[in-house]
Amino acid sequence: MLQIKNLNKSYGAIKAADNCNFTIKPNKITGLIGPNGAGKSTVFNIISGFEKEDSGTIIFNGKDISKFTPEGIANSGISRVFQKSRLFNNLTVYENLEIAIEEENTKFLKSFFSSNKLNTKQEKRIKEVLELLKIYEVKDLQCKELSYGQKRLVELCRAILKPHKLMILDEPVAGVHPSIRNTIMEVLKLLKGSGETILLIEHDMFFTLNICDEIIVMDDGKVIAKGSPEQIKNNKKVLEAYLGE
């Protein structure tokens, strides 16, 4: 579904991506892990178009998206949850989700400020996702009134609702209450069971090892290991990258 080929990105003398190669398989949850500074977020930003590679290619569903804008990449079928909140804090939870369910973000600007309303199917879908993430009761609150964990759940709702073929999540459970972490874990497993493809960065190793089908490990901009959670737990290179020799 997603192929990263010979990806390179430098910031001066620092190589954030150094001939990086990996493939994301459909209908799987894949974790991208590594110590701080390994290059994970840079790769995510390049995949979603917020940074441009120095060289290399990104193939998504058989199409080269390397030169696409962030909007073009999102509209081609990649939905993202960012590490830092990107909600519209002065809008309600429901209004934030109305934005997401439109096929193209620009359509929202035409519909939100006009008399156009969501159709019954869209309204039903928003209700289903709010209930799935256990936040239906806060749908009419402005996002600025929510706790940090609730905001993460809303952002995950938004990523689910955005029409997509691949969902990429940047630290979806960082800093959240254990009960919310468990909710997110349950929901991601359900999504995979329904055919979703998910790529995530996460520093919570318990979460990552218990949810991922495959794990890709980066260090100093390079991919140093790939495999199942069990294989990664016992990989000498991975242990050295995290703990030192």
Residues of the domain holding 24: 1-77+164-245
First to last CA, the chain: 35
Task: Answer whether residue 69 is part of any domain.
Answer: yes
**Same domain, residue pair 152 and 181:** no
User: Is this model's pTM higher than 0.85 or not?
Assistant: yes
Output the 3-class SS for 128-178: HHHHHCCCHHHCCCEHHHCCHHHHHHHHHHHHHHCCCCEEEEECCCCCCCH
Summarize the confidence of residues 177-205 as an average pLDDT: 93
Q: What is the per-residue pLDDT for 106?
A: 46
**Same domain, residue pair 209 and 191:** yes
Summarize the confidence of residues 85-107 as an average pLDDT: 79
Task: Answer whether residue 194 is part of any domain.
Answer: yes
Is the pLDDT score of 107 beyond 60?
A: no
What is the rounded CA–CA span in Å between residue 182 and residue 178? 6
**Same domain, residue pair 73 and 168:** yes
Q: What is the per-residue pLDDT for 115?
A: 46
What is the rounded CA–CA span in Å between residue 181 and residue 211? 12
**Same domain, residue pair 45 and 97:** no
**Same domain, residue pair 176 and 134:** no
- Selection from 81, 111, 83 nearest residue 95 by Cα: 111
**Same domain, residue pair 52 and 94:** no
**Same domain, residue pair 69 and 171:** yes
Task: Answer whether residue 82 is part of any domain.
Answer: no
- Show the tokens assigned to 125: 């879908």
Beta strands 214-219 and 198-201: pairing type? unpaired
Q: What is the per-residue pLDDT for 216?
A: 95
